[in-house]
Amino acid sequence: MDRIHVKLVDLQEAINQHILKKKITTIKDENKRLQSLLSEKESKFKQELSPSRVIEEFKKSIAFNMIFKDHVKALELECTEEGFIRGFLKGVCLIQCKTGAEVEGLTPS
């Protein structure tokens, strides 16, 4: 009776180990599948949010166009003002040189 009981216990342990190995294998396979799925999702997410893609999407937006147009207008205005001031001062200097007259508040350069 003891031998049979020992054999039954040994067989039950073997069955339990076999079941445990199957469970471990199943869990490892599921882990690999989930890791692969996670990698795919991360890759897709990184592509969707890559800096160049975000920048390209922003360039297509109305906000970018408004900011860009405002900046260009400000630069054009600045250039126009600088050009006018330079031209005006050149004219004043030319008149000063030709007439020898001094304009109050301006010094010849």
Tell whether 44 and 4 lie within a shared domain.
yes
Tell whether 45 and 2 lie within a shared domain.
yes
Residue 23 near residue 29, CB atoms below 8 Å: no
Tell whether 69 and 40 lie within a shared domain.
no
Mean pLDDT over each residue of the chain, to the nearest integer: 82
Looking at residue 99, its pLDDT comes to 78
How far is CA 19 from each of CA 9, 22, 23, 24, 28, rounded to the nearest angstrom? 15, 5, 6, 9, 14
Range of the domain at 91: 62-109
Tell whether 10 and 45 lie within a shared domain.
yes
Looking at residue 70, its pLDDT comes to 87
More confident residue, 26 or 62: 26
Tell me the helices (H) and strands (E) count for the chain, helix number first: 3, 0
> Is residue 55 situated within a structural domain?
no
Tell whether 2 and 27 lie within a shared domain.
yes
Residue 75 pLDDT > 80: yes
The pLDDT tens digits for 13-34 are 999 899 999 999 999 999 999 9
> Is residue 27 situated within a structural domain?
yes
The pLDDT tens digits for 80-97 are 888 888 887 788 777 777
> Is residue 56 situated within a structural domain?
no
Contacts of 92 (CB under 8 A, 6+ apart): 103, 106
Domain count, the chain: 2
